[in-house]
Amino acid sequence: MNPGAAVGIDALYAYIPGNYVDVRELAEKRANGRDTSKILSLVGQKEMAIPFGFEDPVTMAANAVAGMIRHFKADVSKIERIVMATESAFDFSKAGSSFVHEMAKLKRGTEVYEVKHACASGTYALLDAVNAVRAGEIETAVVVMSDICRYKKGSSAEYTQGAGAVALLVAKNPKILAISPGTGTCSFNVADFYRPAGSETPVVDGRLSMESYIKAVCGSFSDYVEKAQIMPHHLLAAMSHIIFHTPFPKMAENAFFALCKETGCRRREKEDFERKVKPSLSIPSSVGNVYTASLYLALASALENATRDDIAGLFSYGSGCTSKFFAGRVAPQAGDRIRSLGLLKQLSARRRLSIAEYERVFYEGGEIDNEYRGFRVRSIRNGYREYGLV
Ligand code: CAA
């Protein structure tokens, strides 16, 4: 591990929809005489963010990118690449990032593309952008991850939905996280989770998806330590933050304990979980799964509490599947930068939807009464979306 590398995440901005559903209330509604304690402890989720019917992955991505540029006064003339990562795209050809490029007023000389590998594509885009900046090919890049996580109504996955976007600015001398060279990888073909063309919701094998996730996390970690020639317990001890892709909080918790078992580092596992992992679960437990953006929302949650230049380890998982482990050094300004976003205040300002309102807006595209400011879908003609700002 080389913690001194000075390219990485200079700015991070999260867009979280203004409505939410209480997961306990939803589980009770669907219980049908069953005790809800099993499913609630299986997922550990409190609330899920619900977008308006006129929001889509492009509007959320544009809100995140424009918000980031405005909030951190980013120099638009230096942005030479914008990549959008999503697994809820509505077009098989046109990249969502083309819309975002226009909505965020980026220059013509910007590389624009979209990437896919379930929840891991944003990580691949981030690592590519870091390499391109490190090699001097581009000055800065924006990677935006945006997803609406929607499952079949009444399924056990319904309690793990969510929506949102995270934009990252990749630059030299980053003020949030300097990403160290070297990664660990674990990939194998598995039918744990996929969304066939034309289907509104994915096909999910819940148990298989959890098993594959844990196998991949342990595999990418052991690949990393082998390549870096470092003892697993030394690396685990060196990390102050261990941050996971968080489809629901209990998944990250299970993965951490599985990793401790796999590496024989169980002596202080409970204490380590409380200190190194739990802070990253706080915001995700109120937002839900945001697929590609999930790891980076967990990073924001962890860094709300960062006070010094800690080492962070990050696990990215994409169903199907692939997994990456990588590490970085937290910049001294990171905590202040993240706290300046006021994410906790944003969460408490959201409107709680009744289950009937949630079903109407999320499954039937109906309207709900709540204030909205930002980009929205104005119309869809011949499948082509027109956007506007309200
Ligand atoms: N009230 C009471 N009990 C309920 C209930 C309710 N409302 N809803 C479900 N239950 C019960 C079920 O009856 C079942 O009980 P028994 O075991 O006694 O039969 C129990 O809760 C569990 O339900 P399932 O067996 O249906 O659930 P599962 O084991 O298939 O797991 C899950 C499902 C993973 C927890 C689910 O939330 C899910 O499928 N999520 C989506 C997939 C996912 O996120 N996987 C994580 C790894 S993949 C990944 O990370 C990529 C990604 O982002 C998707």
CB atoms within 10 A of CB 2: 11
Q: Looking up tokens 């499948």, which residue turns up? A: 383
**Is the pLDDT reported for residue 44 higher than 70?**
yes
Nearest-atom index, ligand 1, CA of 192: 48
Nearest CA to ligand 1 atom 6: 31
Mean pLDDT, the chain, integer: 96
CB burial class (10 A; 0-12, 13-18, 19+) of residue 221?
buried
How far is the centre of ligand 1, averaged over its atoms, from the C-alpha of 209 (Å)? Answer: 10
Q: Looking up tokens 């098989």, which residue turns up? A: 92
Tell me, using a 6 A CB cutoff, whether residue 191 lines ligand 1.
no
Residues 152, 384: Cα–Cα separation, whole Å: 26
Residues 281, 243: Cα–Cα separation, whole Å: 9
Residues 24, 95: Cα–Cα separation, whole Å: 37
User: In Å, how far are 285, 330, 333 from 304, measured between CA atoms?
Assistant: 15, 12, 11
Residues 292-304 pLDDT 10s: 999 999 999 999 9
Q: What is the mean pLDDT of residues 149-168?
A: 98
Tell me, using a 6 A CB cutoff, whether residue 37 lines ligand 1.
no
* pLDDT in the model for residue 5: 53
Residues 104-144 pLDDT 10s: 999 999 999 999 999 999 999 999 999 999 999 999 999 99
**Is the pLDDT reported for residue 167 higher than 70?**
yes
Nearest CA to ligand 1 atom 44: 247
Tell me, using a 6 A CB cutoff, whether residue 201 lines ligand 1.
no
Write out the CATH class of domain 7-389.
Answer: alpha beta
* pLDDT in the model for residue 308: 73
To test ligand 1's pocket by mutation, which of 25, 26, 39 has the most ligand atoms within 8 angstroms of CB? 39
* pLDDT in the model for residue 4: 43
* pLDDT in the model for residue 368: 87
Residues 276, 44: Cα–Cα separation, whole Å: 18
* pLDDT in the model for residue 2: 46
Tell me, using a 6 A CB cutoff, whether residue 30 lines ligand 1.
yes
Tell me, using a 6 A CB cutoff, whether residue 40 lines ligand 1.
no
Nearest CA to ligand 1 atom 52: 247
**Is the pLDDT reported for residue 1 higher than 50?**
no
Residues 98, 342: Cα–Cα separation, whole Å: 29
* pLDDT in the model for residue 370: 85
Tell me, using a 6 A CB cutoff, whether residue 44 lines ligand 1.
no
* pLDDT in the model for residue 3: 43
To test ligand 1's pocket by mutation, which of 21, 37, 38 has the most ligand atoms within 8 angstroms of CB? 38
How far is the centre of ligand 1, averaged over its atoms, from the C-alpha of 240 (Å)? Answer: 31
Tell me, using a 6 A CB cutoff, whether residue 293 lines ligand 1.
no
Nearest-atom index, ligand 1, CA of 35: 2
Tell me, using a 6 A CB cutoff, whether residue 124 lines ligand 1.
no
Dmax (CA) for the chain in angstroms is: 61
Alpha helix (H) ranges present in 159-205? none
Nearest CA to ligand 1 atom 42: 206
Q: What is the mean pLDDT of residues 46-65?
A: 97
Q: What pLDDT band is residue 98 in, cutting at 50, 70 and 90?
A: very high
How far is the centre of ligand 1, averaged over its atoms, from the C-alpha of 322 (Å)? Answer: 21
Angle, alpha carbons 264-219-86 (nearest 5°): 130
Residues 85-95 pLDDT 10s: 999 999 999 99
Burial annotation 339-348 (CB, 10 A radius, 16+ → b, else e): eebebeeebe
Q: Looking up tokens 């885009």, which residue turns up? A: 125
CA dihedral 196, 197, 202, 205 (to 10 degrees): 0
Tell me, using a 6 A CB cutoff, whether residue 89 lines ligand 1.
no
Burial annotation 37-59 (CB, 10 A radius, 16+ → b, else e): eebbebbbbbbbbbbbebbbbbb
> What sign has the CA pseudo-torsion 269, 275, 276, 280?
positive
Nearest-atom index, ligand 1, CA of 245: 50
Of the candidate ranges 104-118, 124-138, 193-207, 306-320, the one whose mean pLDDT is the lowest: 306-320
Nearest CA to ligand 1 atom 34: 206
**Is the pLDDT reported for residue 161 higher than 70?**
yes
**Is this model's pTM higher than 0.95 or not?**
yes
3-class DSSP state for residue 161?
Answer: coil
Q: Domain residues of the chain, as ranges?
A: 7-389
**Is the pLDDT reported for residue 380 higher than 60?**
yes
Burial annotation 284-313 (CB, 10 A radius, 16+ → b, else e): bbbbbbbbbbbbbbbbbbbbbbbeeebbbb
CB atoms within 10 A of CB 352: 13
Residues 333-378 pLDDT 10s: 999 999 999 999 999 999 999 999 999 999 998 888 889 999 999 9
Show the tokens assigned to 387: 């956007």
* pLDDT in the model for residue 306: 79
